C-alpha cells in the first residue's frame, strides 16, 4: 500500500461495464472535463484514500495518504473527455475491491499526467506489429488500434490475447468488427480454462502456441520474421519471460536502453 500524500479527489467514475465478477471496463472523467495528453500505450494511476481516513473534500483538502495503482489507458487520445481502463478485480488487492464499490458518479483520484515509454514509436513505420497480451494487458494495444486505424503506420497489426475463459476476452466484439473492415488487422483470441462443451469454438492454449511458425503464418497471413516484425508483450510476467526467451531463440532482440531491438514489453503487474 502506497503512502503518498495528495490533495482532493479530482475525477469521477462516469460508467462501468462489468464483463463478469472480476473484469470491468471503467471510464473516468477528470475534473475540468479534459484528459491529460497521452500517447497510446501510456498509463496513469488511479487512487483512493487509505480506508482508515475520511475522503478529502474541497472544503477540507488536507494531506491524504493514498492507495494508488497504475493502469494502461484503453481509450484513444482522440477521446478527450474521459479515460477508459480495463480492470481486473484482485480480491486480496489494496485498491480494486474498493474500486468495485464506487457507484457511477462516485469520486476517485487520477493522475494529471500520463507516463510510460511503451508506445508504437518503438517500431519503425511499415513494420509488422505483433501485440501479445494476457488478460487486461490488451488495453494499451486497443488504444493503439483505436488511434491509428485511420492512418495506420503498420503493414500488419496482429493482436494475440490470451485469457482463462471466453468471458474474460474483453473488447472481443469490437476487435472482430475491426478485423472485418480492415484486412491489415488480425485478432487472435485463445483461452486456457474454458470448459469443454461450452459455446467457445476458438483456439485453446497459451499465447506462445500461436507463435509457432506454421500456426502464426496461417493465422496472421505473414511469417513471424525478425527482419520485419516488432513484438510487443503486455501482461503476466511469466508470459513475458517465456515469450521473450522463445523469440530470442528465433533471432529477435530485446529492446533495452543499451541496445535497440524488436521485442518490447510492459510488465503489467
Specify burial of residue 234 (Cβ count, 10 A radius: 0-12, 13-18, 19+): buried
Report helix, strand or coil for 167: helix
Task: Give me the count of residues in the chain.
Answer: 269
pLDDT digits (tens, 9 = 90+) for 257-268: 899 999 999 875
Give CA separation, 110 vs 71, 82, 93, 101, 113, in Å: 10, 11, 18, 17, 9
pLDDT digits (tens, 9 = 90+) for 95-152: 999 999 999 999 999 999 999 999 999 999 999 999 999 999 999 999 999 999 889 9
Domain 4-110, CATH 3.90.1150.10 — does that match?
no
The confidence score (pLDDT) of residue 63 equals 67
Give the residues across from 265 on adjacent strands. Answer: 233
Q: Where are the domains of the chain?
A: 4-110, 120-267
pTM listed for this prediction? 0.92
Which grid cell is 150? 485511420
- Distance between CA atoms of 187 and 133, rounded to whole angstroms? 11
User: Which CATH number fits the domain 120-267, given the four candidates 3.40.50.80, 3.30.2010.10, 3.30.70.3270, 3.40.309.10?
Assistant: 3.40.50.80
Give CA separation, 210 vs 2, 109, 169, 267, in Å: 38, 39, 16, 20
Angle, alpha carbons 48-50-55 (nearest 5°): 65
Amino acid at each position: 500500500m502506497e503512502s503518498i500524500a495528495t490533495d482532493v479527489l479530482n475525477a469521477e467514475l462516469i460508467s462501468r461495464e462489468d464483463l463478469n465478477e472480476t473484469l470491468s471496463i471503467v471510464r473516468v472523467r477528470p475534473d475540468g472535463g479534459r484528459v491529460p495528453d497521452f500517447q497510446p500505450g501510456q498509463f496513469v494511476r488511479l487512487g483512493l484514500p487509505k480506508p482508515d481516513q475520511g475522503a478529502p473534500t474541497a472544503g477540507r483538502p488536507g494531506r491524504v495518504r493514498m492507495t494508488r495503482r497504475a493502469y494502461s489507458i484503453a481509450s484513444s487520445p482522440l477521446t478527450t473527455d474521459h479515460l477508459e481502463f480495463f480492470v481486473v478485480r484482485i480480491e486480496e488487492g489494496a485498491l480494486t475491491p474498493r474500486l468495485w464499490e464506487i457507484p457511477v458518479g462516485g469520486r476517485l483520484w487520477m493522475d494529471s499526467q500520463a507516463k510510460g515509454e511503451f508506445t508504437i514509436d518503438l517500431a519503425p513505420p511499415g513494420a509488422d506489429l505483433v501485440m501479445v497480451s494476457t488478460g487486461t494487458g490488451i488495453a494499451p494495444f486497443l488504444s493503439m488500434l483505436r488511434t491509428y486505424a485511420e492512418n495506420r503506420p503498420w503493414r500488419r497489426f496482429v493482436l494475440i490475447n490470451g485469457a482463462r475463459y471466453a468471458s474474460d476476452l474483453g473488447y472481443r466484439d469490437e476487435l472482430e468488427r475491426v478485423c472485418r473492415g480492415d484486412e491489415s488487422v488480425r485478432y487472435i483470441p485463445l483461452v486456457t480454462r474454458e470448459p469443454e462443451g461450452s459455446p467457445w469454438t476458438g483456439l485453446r492454449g497459451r499465447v506462445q502456441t500461436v507463435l509457432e511458425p506454421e500456426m502464426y503464418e496461417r493465422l496472421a497471413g505473414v511469417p513471424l520474421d525478425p527482419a520485419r516484425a516488432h513484438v510487443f508483450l503486455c501482461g503476466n510476467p511469466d508470459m513475458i519471460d517465456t515469450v521473450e526467451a522463445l523469440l530470442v531463440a528465433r533471432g529477435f532482440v530485446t529492446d533495452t536502453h543499451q541496445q535497440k531491438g524488436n521485442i518490447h514489453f510492459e510488465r503489467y503487474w
